[in-house]
Amino acid sequence: MRKRRTIAEIAKRVERGEAVVMTAEELCNSVRSGEEIGFEDVDVVTSATCGVMSGTFAVLSFQVAERDEFERASKVSLNGVPAFVGPCPNERLGIVDVIVYGPSHRDKNYGGGHLFRALVAHEEIEVAVETVDGREIKTTTTLDEITFARLCSTRNAFKNYFAFVNAHENEVTSIFSVSKFKGPFKELTFSGCGELNPLEKDPLMDTIGVGTKILMNGAEGFVIGEGTRSSAEKPNLMGIADMHGMQPEYLGGFRTSAGPEIWTSWAVPIPILNERVWENVKKLDEEIKLGVLDVHNRLPVGETTYADVWRDFSVRFDRSSCIECEECPVASLCPSDAFDARAKDVNADLCCNCGACVHLCEGEAFSCNLGVVTLAGREIPVTLRQSDRRRASELAAILKQKILDGGFTISEPVARFNV
């Protein structure tokens, strides 16, 4: 007889303090070490992913002027980042409703991701409003003054991310590189947290559905549907969470050679309902394929696994090896602006462990085993990771503790996806 249990049964075990909750990393390390562990031994596995997720946007509603000071807004920008006004006109209320895309940007160095992080860090934001009668209103605000602030996604947390190479001679700008993408086959960049990723743990969405409770950037939120371009082979999710509860170290701006992007984070509990779920949560990096595409046409040129690219999760900096370049390439190209060349200091809250600095630094002051991928006899070094495995691991641990402490309840989806 196949073993089964329900989310309600698992939630009761959590409530009674009887449940065994493991992070995906803990479980996979146990499996990798040969420890005998079975379906009966684990109730919930906490999964997480952190990285560049372009399909992220914010919905904000807040006061910018007194009642009847203007009829309605025609344009709004926040710290120079353009916002879409409406759909509600809020006529003569002095309120604006806006939608801000994560990849929207003021300039090549500052975009929606930087803005969202500034809001979550409770920094003061400059607001510029153009009214329908041609007036301009300038003010400031903070997240504490924004009554409605939700971060949403059109598609986040893909099960199947890709790696990219440039198969041609010419260098190209791309959202998948921080400097011009070198070719042919000179470097490889990739996304995805491998064996920690929520939809690698539950690819058939036996436990994840509409209404599944999640953590988005540390704040409690919900899955609201399947994301755009989601399919049975390549599922992804839409979600929503209140920005007021988010932690700034789990989201931010990420500069690419094609302009600013946004990185954000999800953590999702996977209740172990049946043996199918159990077999999937045990999958290791070595078993998870990572397709390699040509950045020009997005067509396949090969395949590897996450075991080849996730060797070392953290980037380290040795101050004594800094050769004090006249113009520091790390400081100028670090996608999250985490390195201060003058102070010789890495801001750990901003650093997303992408590893770009390892190949950019002429003095080899930065170190991390980024891995090498072999394709058709070529050895191609990994030069950029657009996901942060260390932060994903932290978030899975945070979610585990919240479940054990009773601060996060396992929820039954209100609707299932047709997978």
In a domain, 77, yes or no: yes
In a domain, 405, yes or no: no
- Find residue 415's DSSP bridge partners: 210
In a domain, 125, yes or no: yes
Confidence grade of residue 2 (pLDDT, cut at 50, 70, 90): low
In a domain, 270, yes or no: no
What's the confidence (pLDDT) of residue 36?
92
Q: Buried b / exposed e across 125-154, counting CB within 10 Å, b at 16+?
A: bebbbbbeeeeebeeebebeebeebbbbbb
What's the confidence (pLDDT) of residue 376?
84
Can you give the residue range of the structural domain that contains 102?
A: 55-152
Is the bond leading into 87 cis (omega within 30 degrees of zero)? yes
In a domain, 132, yes or no: yes
Confidence grade of residue 239 (pLDDT, cut at 50, 70, 90): very high
Whether residue 1 is predicted with pLDDT greater than 50 in this model: the reply is: no
- Find residue 271's DSSP bridge partners: 44
Q: How many domains does the chain have?
A: 1
Interval 239-268 mean pLDDT: 97
In a domain, 144, yes or no: yes
The model's pTM is 0.95
* CATH number for the domain that contains residue 60: 2.60.40
In a domain, 327, yes or no: no
* Token pair in block for residue 42: 């684990």
In a domain, 85, yes or no: yes
What's the confidence (pLDDT) of residue 411?
87
Whether residue 419 is predicted with pLDDT greater than 80 in this model: the reply is: no
Whether residue 324 is predicted with pLDDT greater than 80 in this model: the reply is: yes
Whether residue 48 is predicted with pLDDT greater than 90 in this model: the reply is: yes
Alpha carbons within 13 angstroms on the beta-carbon side of residue 4 total 5
Whether residue 44 is predicted with pLDDT greater than 90 in this model: the reply is: yes
Is the bond leading into 184 cis (omega within 30 degrees of zero)? yes
Confidence grade of residue 160 (pLDDT, cut at 50, 70, 90): confident
